[in-house]
Amino acid sequence: MLSLLALPVGVISTAGACLLLAGIRLFTNLFFFQRLSLAYVSPAAHHLGAWVVAVPALGGLLVGLVARYGSEKVRGHGIPEALEAILFGQSRMSAKVALLKPLSSAIAIGSGGPFGAEGPIIMTGGAAASLLAQAFHLSAAERKALLVAGACAGMTAVFGTPLAAILLAVELLLFELRPRSLLPVALACAVAAFLRPLWADAGPLFPLASAAPSAVAFASCVVAGLAAGLLSAAMTLALYRVEDWFGRLRVHWMWWPAIGGLFVGLGGLLQPRALGVGYDVIGDLLQRPAAAAGVLGLLGAKAAIWTVALGSGTSGGVLAPLLMIGAGLGRLIGAWLPGGDPGLWALVCMAATLGGTMRAPLMAVMFAFELTDDVAALVPAMLACIVAYGFTVTVMPRSILTEKIARRGRHVYREYGVDPLERHFVEEVMTAAVVAIPGSMPAAAVLAQYFGPGQAHRAYPVTDGGRLLGVVSRADLQNLAAEALGRAISGLVGERALACALPTETCRAVASRMAAEGLERLPVVESAGSRLLVGIVSRSDLLKPARQVHEEESRRERKSRFSRRLR
């Protein structure tokens, strides 16, 4: 069912991406050239002179109005909001977000905002998929799968990078790797990839053919990765310092995007090519040599206005700015890096900056490859991305995406691992030596003998010849009438539904059932047919796998086997 629903989700997300990009072109023509047109044109070609300073401020004001009187969730760059909806909102999004997010982003980017379209379309595609899932009354887990499918299909439609979009889901959005979620995501991305040539040029967005790097390029990749990691950490820190500064302003947050827009306009006055999405600038940085002074000015202006604009709470994405800033870094340091041509280092630093900032190195490597089809750059980009990722993980507690959520008092754990409860069966952790109550014993005698001053357990299984009849606790017997206390305990427990576990069940399955039914322990029977009692599993028993994992993580052997053999 989810796979079938993923097909229309891919279509809807592709249509949303097409409309968003058309809206950006419309507002770019309207704001900078005062005409109604859907033709692509760069904001840098404007003839407004100093009046260009006011254009991003006007766009920011409109975004603030949309956020205040429409939906505050249109603020931000999309991915943190999608993460928050997945983790803490049961993957529910509103129709307002699906409509107002692309509108506000088209206004913000079309008025010169230094953002990409991918973040908004991730939010828009996810919202549309969430609405479809809600219409079919799906569960929260199923809504999550479709939400992520819509988000990644939107990214595929913008950039034509289906594999990178799937890796984005795995590294950032799904929080699991199961067929029920991976299949819908892959199908939606495939649909978007096949539909994209109907409205966009086929082939890679930035075709590139680098020369094969030499062996000395290994060291250069490490240097490039460290430089990209340092830049990623600096931009993340600067972004949230700017956000803190806006938070201290004594004006309503509705005005913040307009204030940030003034700064964007000033930056655009000095460096016109820093305005807007800048896909043409990214292509030039990758494919054409440029003077270091010009690249440095463009890089500084783009990083500064992007940081201020995003910190002001306007609407826009982070991928395209990170691509431009990373490619600019590669052009700056590429002249001093041996082992490859300058275009290679622009691509390597672009991927490493993306991977280090978003903490998604595999997605960044595949993203760089699908954007360029440059096979020679695949291994250098991989090494640089891993170095940048390791650097940012070491020096920063959170990424640019999860820091925003953490500031709202929510914790996001980004490391995957196999649940230790899934690795162990009930028979490995249960208590086999069980104290059982004979079913023929009167209830009064049970209360006195098992629940008196010397009570050892909170509840006991009741058996008849080893066959489980039920479980009884003190609370079950305290409120019984005197007449009932004279009856055999088997008659009392036989009136309740029997909940039990099997030795071959995983600890995770039993733990989930105990949590859902509010139980502290379950009797373990040999089989559902025989109901022969073989043990009991409690909540404390289910902590044993976690204890083993703790020992594996923390205990080190003093002497290795190899050192003992040498002796």
Query: 347: closest CA among 311, 315, 304, 383?
Result: 383
pLDDT above 70 (res 563): no
Confidence at residue 544, expressed as pLDDT on a 0 to 100 scale: 86
Confidence of residue 40 (pLDDT cuts 50, 70, 90): confident
Confidence at residue 491, expressed as pLDDT on a 0 to 100 scale: 77
Confidence at residue 481, expressed as pLDDT on a 0 to 100 scale: 65
Which of 59-63, 111-115, 254-258 comes out lowest in average pLDDT?
111-115
Question: Hey, what domains does the chain have and what are their CATH numbers?
Answer: 2-198 (1.10.3080.10), 217-406 (1.10.3080.10), 420-548 (3.10.580.10)
The mean pLDDT of 230-236, rounded to a whole number, is 93
pLDDT above 60 (res 382): yes
pLDDT digits (tens, 9 = 90+) for 277-288: 888 888 888 888
Decide if 476 contacts 443 (C-beta within 8 A): no
- Given phi > 0 = left and psi -120 to 50 = alpha, else beta, which region is 313? left
What SS3 state is found at 178?
coil
Alpha carbon 441 to its chain centroid, in Å, reads: 57
Give 170-176 contacts, CB < 8 A, sequence gap 24+: 170/362, 170/363, 171/359, 171/360, 171/361, 171/362, 171/363, 172/79, 172/83, 172/358, 172/359, 172/360, 172/363, 172/401, 173/79, 173/82, 173/83, 173/86, 173/148, 174/144, 174/145, 174/148, 175/86, 175/87
What secondary structure, in 3-state letters, does 341-357 show? Answer: CHHHHHHHHHHHHHHHH
The torsion angles phi and psi of 464, rounded to 5 degrees, stand at: -135, 100
Both structure tokens of 447? 């209360």
The mean pLDDT of 387-409, rounded to a whole number, is 85
pLDDT above 90 (res 186): yes
Share of the chain above pLDDT 70, in %: 95
pLDDT above 90 (res 391): yes
pLDDT above 90 (res 183): yes
pLDDT digits (tens, 9 = 90+) for 101-152: 888 888 999 998 888 777 778 777 888 888 888 888 888 888 888 888 988 9
Q: CA 42 → CA 39, 64, 110, 420, 507, distances in Å?
A: 10, 24, 10, 53, 59
pLDDT above 80 (res 405): no
Query: 451: closest CA among 427, 414, 480, 411?
Result: 480
Which of 75-84, 418-427, 432-441 comes out lowest in average pLDDT?
75-84
Angle at 125 between CA 122 and CA 129, to 5 degrees: 135
Read off the DSSP letter of residue 72: G
Both structure tokens of 466? 């080893």
Confidence at residue 567, expressed as pLDDT on a 0 to 100 scale: 57
Confidence of residue 319 (pLDDT cuts 50, 70, 90): confident
The mean pLDDT of 217-233, rounded to a whole number, is 95
The mean pLDDT of 435-454, rounded to a whole number, is 84
The mean pLDDT of 477-499, rounded to a whole number, is 71
The mean pLDDT of 199-209, rounded to a whole number, is 85
The model's pTM is 0.82
Confidence at residue 557, expressed as pLDDT on a 0 to 100 scale: 66
CB atoms under 10 Å from CB of 97, counted, come to 23
pLDDT digits (tens, 9 = 90+) for 257-269: 999 999 999 999 9
Q: Over the chain, what is the mean pLDDT?
A: 86
Q: How far apart are CA 63 and CA 60, in angstroms?
A: 5
Per-residue burial over 131-167, b = 16 or more CB atoms within 10 Å of its CB, e = otherwise: bbbbeeebeeebbbbbbbbbbbbbbbbbbbbbbbbbb
pLDDT above 90 (res 404): no
Q: What do you get for the CA distance between the two ends of the chain, in Å?
A: 62
Both structure tokens of 295? 């690249």
Q: How far apart are CA 350 and CA 320, in angstroms?
A: 10
Torsion of CA 205, 370, 297, 404, to 10 degrees: 120
The torsion angles phi and psi of 489, rounded to 5 degrees, stand at: -65, -25
Per-residue burial over 384-421, b = 16 or more CB atoms within 10 Å of its CB, e = otherwise: bbbbbbebbbeebebbbbbbbbeeeeeebeeeeeeebb
Query: 260: closest CA among 115, 392, 96?
Result: 115
Helices 279-287 + 319-333 axis angle, to 10: 20
Confidence at residue 70, expressed as pLDDT on a 0 to 100 scale: 86
Confidence at residue 370, expressed as pLDDT on a 0 to 100 scale: 94
Query: 143: closest CA among 126, 157, 156?
Result: 126
Torsion of CA 456, 462, 464, 466, to 10 degrees: -60
